[in-house]
């Protein structure tokens, strides 16, 4: 008899390790594990060994860092994506890509089902399941932690009883990491009044302990995409790596806010995203130099829609492509350089220049070099203020329209 095969999206942590053994034992399926590298700092050899120790029939490793940067992060930069004004979407953005890579393996080996390690309270289950079902219609999806109501204590006992080697982190925090940022949840952070303790952070220096001397970083953009740092061209992956280190050293990129999850829960979320925060700050600045007010204003609506789609697991929504087409069209002229100043937790654009700049010194200067005929402003004001002034004349000049 042919065995039923389930492909599991495998991070190497306790939840997904317990899931391997459970799927085999409870469902009697063969388990194929897939670990996708989206820039998390992990020992992938060790993860593979653990997958086999837990009973995986075959393990796949997929390096998706370049694709993550080129296809996902670059769009997030164009969209200045900050969910609820604060969260650069780091975890959210990687989910559809991980789902896609797991589906690729499932198709290749003609699997019968796909499983992932999300809980039933978060956004990740929504992101994984909708994307998986969009890419592989009709496939059975399991979420063992959620569907069998697993908890960490039982999982640990179960995994240890099977003799599976697992390093149980002493940390009270639940961490998710990729190139675009590090998400920190649970433990003491569940009380939103508690300040995140220093040990919650791994990528950023405490701003108070950051260097006294500021550091300047010049980011060059070409068509909305960062192409070089301090004059040296490098891949987006390398640029993000470098900025995570440099901006992180100066304590830049810490985020602490209350977030609205898709499932309606409000949660306290802490992040450190030094590169994301710095690059979006720089990108917004170069856009202001090169785009008109009308595009900047309208683009905010598109940015917000795109960010909400990605956050809420609707990467598969057909609205995404037309939104991205608009974003790309606007970026054709978004080229130039921004000089960022990093200092004690703050990133600030302090200089910008571009061949495409709409800034004209001869128009804005107050010196006699000005070519702007200021006498024309008189006629402009007369016409510009006509409607409100007529309205006031008809309805009264005082507030309250007496
Ligand atoms: N709240 C963030 C999001 O929904 C981060 C989730 C972090 N996930 C995790 N498994 N720790 O994107």
Helices (H), 189-342: 236-249, 274-290, 293-311, 320-331
Determine the average pLDDT of the residues in 106-135: 97
Q: How far is CA 194 from CA 140, 188, 199, 257, in A?
A: 41, 7, 13, 12
Cα–ligand 1 centroid distance for 182 (angstroms): 9
26-30: list long-range contacts, CB under 8 Å, 24+ apart: 26/148, 27/142, 28/3, 28/4, 29/3, 29/4, 29/5, 29/112, 29/113, 30/3, 30/4, 30/5, 30/6, 30/57
In the set 19, 50, 118, 124, the catalytic residue is 124
Write the pLDDT tens digit of every residue in 10-20: 999 999 999 99
Which residue has the CA at smallest separation from atom 1 of ligand 1?
A: 269
Distance CA 57, CA 196 (A): 41
Q: What are the tokens at 87?
A: 């969260």
Distance CA 127, CA 95 (A): 6
Cα–ligand 1 centroid distance for 304 (angstroms): 19
Q: What are the tokens at 188?
A: 């003491």
90 is catalytic: no
Residue 273 — very low, low, confident or very high, per pLDDT cuts 50/70/90? very high
- Indicate which atom in ligand 1 lies nearest the CA of residue 259: 1
- Structure pTM? 0.95
- Indicate which atom in ligand 1 lies nearest the CA of residue 92: 12
Q: What would you report as the CA-atom Rg of the chain, rounded to the nearest whole angstrom?
A: 25
- The position carrying tokens 């993000």 is 240
In the set 50, 95, 182, 352, the catalytic residue is 95
**Which amino acids bring their CB within 6 angstroms of ligand 1?**
91-92, 123-124, 174, 176, 183, 185, 259, 269
pLDDT value, residue 399: 66
Write the pLDDT tens digit of every residue in 151-176: 888 888 888 898 888 877 778 899 99
- Indicate which atom in ligand 1 lies nearest the CA of residue 95: 12
Residue 128 — very low, low, confident or very high, per pLDDT cuts 50/70/90? very high
Distance CA 296, CA 188 (A): 40
| Residue to mutate (ligand 1; options 87, 128, 174, 185; most atoms within 8 A of CB) | 185
Question: Contact, 262 vs 123, CB < 8 A?
Answer: yes
Residue 1 — very low, low, confident or very high, per pLDDT cuts 50/70/90? low
- The position carrying tokens 């992990």 is 42
Which residue has the CA at smallest separation from atom 4 of ligand 1?
A: 123
pLDDT value, residue 2: 80
Cβ neighbours, 10 Å, residue 265: 11
Cα–ligand 1 centroid distance for 111 (angstroms): 28
Write the pLDDT tens digit of every residue in 184-225: 998 999 999 999 999 999 999 999 999 999 999 999 999 999
pLDDT value, residue 44: 98
Cα–ligand 1 centroid distance for 332 (angstroms): 33
Question: Contact, 176 vs 11, CB < 8 A?
Answer: no
pLDDT value, residue 154: 86
């Amino acid at each position: 008899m042919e065995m039923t095969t389930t492909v599991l999206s495998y991070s190497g942590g306790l939840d997904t390790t317990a899931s391997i053994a459970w799927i085999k034992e409870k469902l009697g399926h063969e388990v194929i594990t897939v670990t996708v590298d989206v820039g998390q700092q992990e020992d992938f050899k060790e993860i593979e060994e653990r997958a086999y120790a837990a009973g995986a029939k075959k393990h796949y490793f997929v390096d998706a860092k370049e694709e993550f940067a080129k296809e996902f992060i670059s769009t997030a930069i164009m969209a200045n994506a900050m969910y609820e004004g604060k969260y650069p979407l780091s975890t959210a953005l990687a989910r559809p890509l991980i789902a896609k890579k797991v589906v690729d393996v499932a198709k290749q080996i003609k699997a019968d089902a796909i499983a992932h390690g999300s809980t039933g309270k978060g956004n990740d289950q929504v992101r994984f399941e909708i994307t998986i079902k969009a890419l592989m219609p009709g496939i059975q999806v399991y979420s063992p932690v959620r569907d069998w109501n697993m908890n960490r204590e039982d999982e640990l006992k179960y995994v240890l009883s099977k003799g599976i080697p697992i390093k149980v982190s002493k940390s009270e925090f639940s961490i998710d990491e990729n190139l675009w940022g590090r998400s920190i949840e649970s433990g003491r952070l569940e009380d939103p009044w508690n300040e995140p303790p220093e040990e919650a952070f791994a990528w950023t220096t405490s701003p108070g302990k950051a260097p006294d001397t500021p550091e300047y970083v010049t980011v060059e953009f070409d068509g909305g995409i960062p192409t070089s740092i301090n004059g040296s061209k490098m891949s987006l992956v390398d640029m993000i790596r470098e900025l995570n280190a440099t901006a992180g050293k100066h304590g830049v990129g810490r985020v602490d806010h209350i977030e609205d999850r898709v499932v309606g829960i409000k949660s306290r979320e802490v992040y450190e995203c030094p590169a994301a925060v710095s690059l979006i700050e720089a990108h917004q600045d170069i856009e202001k130099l090169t785009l008109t007010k009308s595009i900047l204003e309208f683009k905010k609506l598109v940015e917000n829609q795109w960010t909400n789609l990605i956050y809420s697991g609707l990467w598969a929504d057909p609205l995404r492509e037309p939104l991205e087409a608009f974003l790309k069209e606007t970026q054709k002229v978004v080229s130039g350089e921004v000089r960022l100043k990093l200092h004690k937790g703050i990133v600030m654009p302090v200089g910008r220049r571009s061949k495409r700049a709409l800034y004209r010194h001869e128009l804005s200067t107050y010196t006699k070099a000005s070519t702007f005929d200021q006498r024309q402003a008189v006629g402009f004001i007369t016409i510009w203020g006509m409607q409100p002034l007529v309205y006031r004349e008809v309805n009264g000049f005082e507030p309250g329209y007496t």
